[in-house]
Structure formats: C-alpha cells, structure tokens
C-alpha cells in the first residue's frame, strides 16, 4: 500500500450556508467526520467555513449561536452545503433563491442537507436530478417539484448535486465521500473513531452478507492488535474462507486483509507515539510486532517517517478551517 504521505492531495474547500433554526446535530455529523479525516490522515484534506446570507449570526434549533466567517455572496470553494432545517419554507423568498442561483456559478458542487434540498429545488438547481430530502417532507417535495426525480434514500449523489435526508444520514454521506476520495481504509478509521464499526455504506442500506463478514473481520482485527491472529483464523471466525474474505475485503475496502490489519496496528502505533512517552520497543510489542526495528520499517513505509521523527514534531496535524 502506498503511503498517503507521499502523495500531494489538494484540499477540498467546503462552505456551509446556515439559516436560523438549522440542526446543529446535522452540522456536527458533517463537519466532525471531516475534521477526523484531517486528523487521522495528518493532512488538510478538507477545509470549511460557515456562511449566512447576510453575514449575521444565526441560531440553531437548540439555541447554539454561530458567527459566520462571511456572507454567501463572497463565498466560493469546491462545494456549497445548504443547511436549513426547521422553518425552511420561510426562506423560499426571492432573496434566498437569487443568492443560491448566483452561488451555483461559483461552486462546482451543490449539496442540500436535511431540508436544504427544498431550497435548491425551489431555485431550479435540482431540475432533472435524482434527489432526496428529510423523509417527513418527501411526499410534499415530490408533489412540489415534479421536475426533480425524488427518491427515498438516505443520500443521493447525482453528478454535481448531492442531497441528504437528515443528521444521521449526513454522517453516512461524509464517510462515503471520504472513502470515495481518499480510500475506504480512511473512511473505516473515521467510522471507528466515532465508535461505529460498520464500514461506510453507499446509501445506508442494511449490510449484505459479504459486508457483515468484512465488518466482523475488522472487529476481530481491532480486538487482537497486540497478539495478531492469522488471516485464516480471522476468516474462520467471521464465517467464511480466507479466499472469500480476501475477495470481499478487496471489494469493500479496496485492500487485502493483510493491508487492513497492518494499517490498524500502525494506527495504534502512531497514536501511542504521539500521545504517550512509551519507548518504541514497548509500542512495538503492544502493536503486535516482534521488535522495534520491524515496527519502525513498517511505520516508515506507511507514514513516510520513523516513529521518533513523528514524536519529535516531524509532522503536525492538518489545519481544519480556512
């Protein structure tokens, strides 16, 4: 597996257009996985800002005040994420629609989260596209916008348009985007950081048999980092043959079981190197390596530098806002 530290990846810039009564649950489920992807990769994969129509502060449905970085007419980036929630119909006026239409010329991708799909559709920006919305509004949305192909899915990516049904689905959407753009292993690591061990799913559908066996295998790996199991034993406990597990893991995570296991062990090593003062020899043992030299070679191949260089500040965490 090629180390991500050897590849220069451009930062994807995202602007979030917030309205009064927005859902901070939805916002957190979108931004926090992006922040985690930056932290885990130690690269500025994503940068974001918060915008409002006029640059004035807004309050979430639970009273959280957000002071924006700027107003919408001065925003530009890779993606504009439109995020109203409650009371979204009060924002259907010409001022909002004109601002969204103008913004569509500055952002290659437009995303509507929760009820943001409604505003995009009202501005004519979803015409001819497949789209979804919070399922409580799905019937009304389909009736109001016959020119949009409305579907009952957790999220939909249709070319330069992305729509998402709500806060929990927003987390699935971000995992999908991280996996698509930066590899399923990173998406898996983000999911594990938030205590969900399922691999990223394209539309949040129930896991198929193959996916369940991959998830089970990853759980077994995570639970046996200090004393690694053989891949054959992991496959047996996951309920399949080693050959089947290898094929399923390659399809789900685009990596072999050996590569996934190595990545999990080295991620633990990196965490211990950066967060503790334990000797490298002790860290090696805790991560299933016979000696410090073996771990150091694997660590350098994965992260582009040896453990001691990282501990001494050789690489810093990625910036998260722009």
Which domains occur in the chain, in start order?
A: 4-176 (3.40.50.880), 206-322 (1.10.10.60)
CB atoms within 10 A of CB 143: 9
Name the nearest CA neighbour of 188 among 286, 248, 246, 263.
263
Please give the pLDDT value at position 209: 59
- Looking at residue 195, its pLDDT comes to 75
Whole-prediction pTM value? 0.83
- pLDDT, residue 268, reads 92
Alpha carbons 55 and 69: distance in angstroms, whole number: 7
Pairing of β 58-59 and β 65-66: antiparallel
pLDDT at 192: 84
Residues of the chain scoring pLDDT < 50: 1-6, 199-206, 315-319
What pLDDT is stored for residue 322 in this prediction? 56
Q: What pLDDT, on the 0 to 100 scale, is given for residue 210?
A: 67
Please tell me the predicted confidence (pLDDT) of residue 7.
54
Residue 46 has what pLDDT? 97
For residue 50, the model assigns a pLDDT of: 98
Q: Quick one: pLDDT at residue 8? A: 64
What pLDDT, on the 0 to 100 scale, is given for residue 194? 87
Encode burial over 88-106: b for 16+ CB neighbours within 10 A, e otherwise.
beebeeeebbebbeebbee
């Amino acid at each position: 597996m090629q180390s991500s530290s050897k590849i220069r990846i451009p930062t994807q810039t995202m602007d979030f257009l917030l309205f009064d009564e927005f859902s901070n649950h939805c916002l957190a489920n979108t931004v926090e996985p992006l922040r985690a992807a930056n932290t885990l990769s130690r690269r500025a994969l994503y940068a974001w800002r918060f915008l409002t129509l006029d640059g004035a502060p807004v309050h979430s449905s639970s009273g959280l005040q957000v002071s924006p970085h700027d107003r919408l007419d001065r925003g530009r980036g890779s993606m504009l994420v439109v995020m109203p929630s409650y009371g979204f119909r009060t924002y259907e006026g010409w001022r909002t629609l004109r601002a969204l239409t103008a913004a569509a010329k500055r952002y290659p991708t437009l995303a509507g989260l929760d009820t943001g799909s409604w505003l995009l559709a009202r501005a004519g920006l979803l015409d001819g596209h497949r789209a979804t919305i919070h399922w409580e509004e799905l019937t009304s949305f389909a009736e109001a916008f016959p020119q949009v192909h409305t579907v009952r899915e957790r999220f939909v990516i249709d070319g330069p348009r992305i729509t998402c049904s709500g806060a929990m689905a927003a987390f699935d959407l971000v995992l999908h985007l991280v996996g698509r753009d930066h590899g399923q292993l990173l998406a898996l690591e983000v999911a594990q950081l938030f205590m969900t061990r399922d691999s990223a799913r394209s539309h949040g559908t129930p896991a198929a048999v193959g996916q369940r066996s991959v998830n089970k295998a990853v759980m077994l790996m995570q639970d046996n980092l200090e004393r690694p199991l053989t891949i054959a034993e992991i496959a047996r406990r996951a309920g399949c043959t080693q050959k089947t597990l290898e094929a399923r893991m390659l399809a789900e995570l685009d990596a072999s079981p050996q590569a996934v296991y190595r990545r999990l062990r080295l991620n633990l090593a990196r965490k211990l190197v950066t967060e503790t003062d334990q000797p490298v020899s002790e860290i090696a043992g805790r991560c299933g390596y016979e000696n410090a030299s073996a771990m150091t070679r694997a660590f350098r191949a994965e992260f582009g530098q040896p453990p001691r260089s990282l501990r001494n500040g050789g690489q810093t965490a990625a910036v998260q806002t722009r």
